[in-house]
Amino acid sequence: MLHSFSGDLAQAQEALTWPFLLSFAGPVTFKNARALHALVTQLPLDRLLFETDAPFLTPHPWRGQRNEPARVTLVAEAVSRLLGRPLADVAAQTTATACEFFAWSSP
């Protein structure tokens, strides 16, 4: 997993030639993160994970405050909007990806 990915499309495409997952954190919720927003829309959903990167990179609107795991929902909501897909679909896929990656039982 590439933690809190902030690279460009070329780097993401190179990573995806390997069995890497790309993990996104609070910056994907920032209004001025246009390059990151464009990047996310070009990536396969089944290779994405979300994180809160506590205590830093807190999602909007809590930016500048200490982060907490419950705020990962804000990351998922932002990606859902960017992809134009229902939050439930995005959450189901990224949860399945996380369960497989971490060898967890599916909820």
Whole-number pLDDT of residue 55: 79
Pairing of strands 48-50, 22-24: parallel
- Give yes or no for a contact between 75 and 50, defined as CB atoms under 8 angstroms apart: yes
Alpha-carbon distance 89 to 76, whole Å? 10
Tell me the pLDDT tens digit for each residue of 40-97: 999 999 999 999 877 789 999 999 898 999 999 999 999 999 999 999 999 999 999 9
Alpha-carbon distance 11 to 58, whole Å? 24
